[in-house]
Amino acid sequence: MPHSRIAIIGAPLDLGQGRRGVDMGPSALRVASLNSRLQGLGYDVEDLGNIPVEQAEAAPAVDRHAKFLPQIAAACEELANRVHSAMGRGCVPLVLGGDHSVAIGTVSGVSRHFRDGGKRVGLIWLDAHADMNTPETSPSGNIHGMPLACLLGMGPEPLASLAGFQPKIAPANTVIVGLREVDLTERPHVRESRVHAYTMRDIDERGLRAVMEEAIRKACDGTVGFHCSLDMDFVDPADAPGVGTAVRGGATYREAHLAMEMICDSRHMTSMEVVEVNPVLDEANRTADLAVELIMSGLGKRIL
């Protein structure tokens, strides 16, 4: 990384999905020695703790088409402000989720930072899902299936307009890698948005190296670099069982590491988040441990 200071921000948000447990993700990652392992790579690490998040039991869902929308918007606004502040102090933000709706806050803060200087940032979205539903198309009303739509300006207004502008990312600089489960009603959003979506078939046919080279090039075209949003369900559940919404047929252990190593080699990653680690569904914290390994690969750890 071109910077040596990392600001860790926990976002224990689980209101975006129906299955509980991802709110413990930040703790699981810290238990897996994230901070000390980053320091072992030579980084100065500042852990800013967790943002405050409402509990589902204390805040009943009102809108069944966009559940917990006010609470998620408040949490994402706080997260965006903390990310923006950290970047203003010269730190690289590393956000620990929480469900994937936290990306609305993370990317809003990152985009705002570069927008202040007249620049724009790209996005690499490593995920089994497109996360491009809207309240009108979502079968569940769970907002963790909507964050990318929100960042592109298509989601609920309180989230799409977070930080006072939209879209946060240009579709031409938005790349999804690892896609393998898309709702029928969501498919038109993916096709018509002009984002670049690489499915697992693309990876099977072309190989991960070719896909990642192209993904990095598109995310960097005319931008200062890219934010990396890593949903742990990008990895096959055989290696990452403790995730919010597991889907068979994902990236292998080595493919996941190669993706992160190539991201690091590009030297264009501006910020990062890891989401959907669910210790309730995990086995002896091994998904969190893998998440930390992938973070390390993304930040410079090498075999030799």
Give the residue numbers marked as catalytic.
100, 127, 129, 131, 144, 231, 233, 276
Cα 244 from Cα 166, distance rounded (Å)? 28
Count Cβ neighbours within 10 Å for each residue of 99-128 and write b for 16 or more, e otherwise.
Answer: bbbbbbbbbbbbbbbbbeeeeebbbbbbbb
Of 49, 196, 192, 75, residue with least CA distance to 144 = 75
Of 78, 77, 270, residue with least CA distance to 169 = 270
HEC secondary structure over the chain? CCCCEEEEEEECCCCCCCCCCHHHHHHHHHHCCHHHHHHHCCCEEEEEEECCCCCHHHCCCCCCCCCCHHHHHHHHHHHHHHHHHHHHCCCEEEEEECCCCHHHHHHHHHHHHHHHCCCCCEEEEECCECCCCCCCCCCCCCHHHCHHHHHCCCCCHHHHCHHHCCCCCCHHHEEEEEECECCCCCHHHHHHHCCEEEEHHHHHHHCHHHHHHHHHHHHHCCCCCEEEEEEHHHECCCCCCCECCCCCCCECHHHHHHHHHHHHHHCCEEEEEEECECHHHCCCCHHHHHHHHHHHHHCCCCCC
